[in-house]
Structure 1
Amino acid sequence: MTSRKATPDDISDICLALPEVELGTSWGDRPTYKVPRGDKGKGFLLHRRAHRSAVDPVTGEMYDDLLVIHTPTLEDKEALVADPRLPFFTVDHFDGFKAVLVQESRLGEVDLEELTEIITDAWASKAPKRLVREFFAKGSTDG
């Protein structure tokens, strides 16, 4: 199986292919993928507004293309941040928060298959347990 690198366009496709996902808003007006649909939806991936807590160390400019992707555990977060192959990082503002940051412009450094797995884990960490059981019982590779 040949793997290709991810692109920003893949984010919506990956998220919306998961059961009971809708694109809504959180943190005010930020586009956020939530599960399940409706009022009880919990965000698992969101587009973060540029903020002084996340600044490019080279240019000093605030990142304006950040995604926040939830992780199931702090250990999962640390593993993604520590992997030198991957562009995931964190900032002090997210200390103790189970999520990683990634610039959309750097998604090409991640294989689509790996990004799909990371986003699926984020979805599973927020989705109702019944939905997660059904999804993995059915086989997440279907589709």
Structure 2
Amino acid sequence: MTMTWDDVIALAERLPETEVSTSYRTPALKVAGKSFARLRTEAEGGLMLFCGLDEKAALLASGDPAYFTTPHYDGHGAILVHLDLVDPQQLRELLTDAWRSKAPARLST
């Protein structure tokens, strides 16, 4: 199943106080005004999700072609995801983790 931005929104809408917005003039998801996911431009490709550096390293080391990075994100806790390659359940987990990393404590407990 190929995931789309609309699928990402549908998954995120289950997370409290998630809003569809923009970041760097591209579609984004925010919680409490903080971005946790951003659809990169068509030329750039991929969905950016915030994650821990350890999780990023593990995803890249897995060899799964759904995950990638660029030099721009070196040293940053963000992973890039090919929506046409990612497993929907894995995307749901990564999206929830990204949301949790930005959500106020009152929401993520």
TM-score normalised according to structure 1 size: 0.69
Query: For this pair of structures, how many residues does the alignment match?
Result: 108
2:99 to 115, 123, 127: 123
Which residue is equivalent to 1:30?
26
Consecutive aligned runs of 4 or more in structure 1 exceeding 3 Å deviation:
none
Identity %: 38
1:74 to 35, 42, 53: 53
> Any residues of structure 2 matched to 1:69-108 within 5 Å, and which?
69-71=49-51, 73-85=52-64, 87-107=66-86
Residues 43-64 of structure 1 show CA distances to partners (whole Å, capped at 9, x for unaligned) of 01101125xxxxxxxxxxx44x
2:37 to 38, 41, 45: 45
AA aligned to 1:49 is T
Aligned-residue Cα RMSD (Å) equals 1.6
**Residue aligned with 1:17, SS:** coil
AA aligned to 2:16 is P
Flag the structure with larger Rg.
1
| More strand as a share of residues | 2
Structure 1 unpaired stretches of 5+: 51-61, 134-143
Shift of residue 96, structure 1, vs aligned partner: 1.0
TM-score normalised according to structure 2 size: 0.88
Structure 2 unpaired stretches of 5+: none
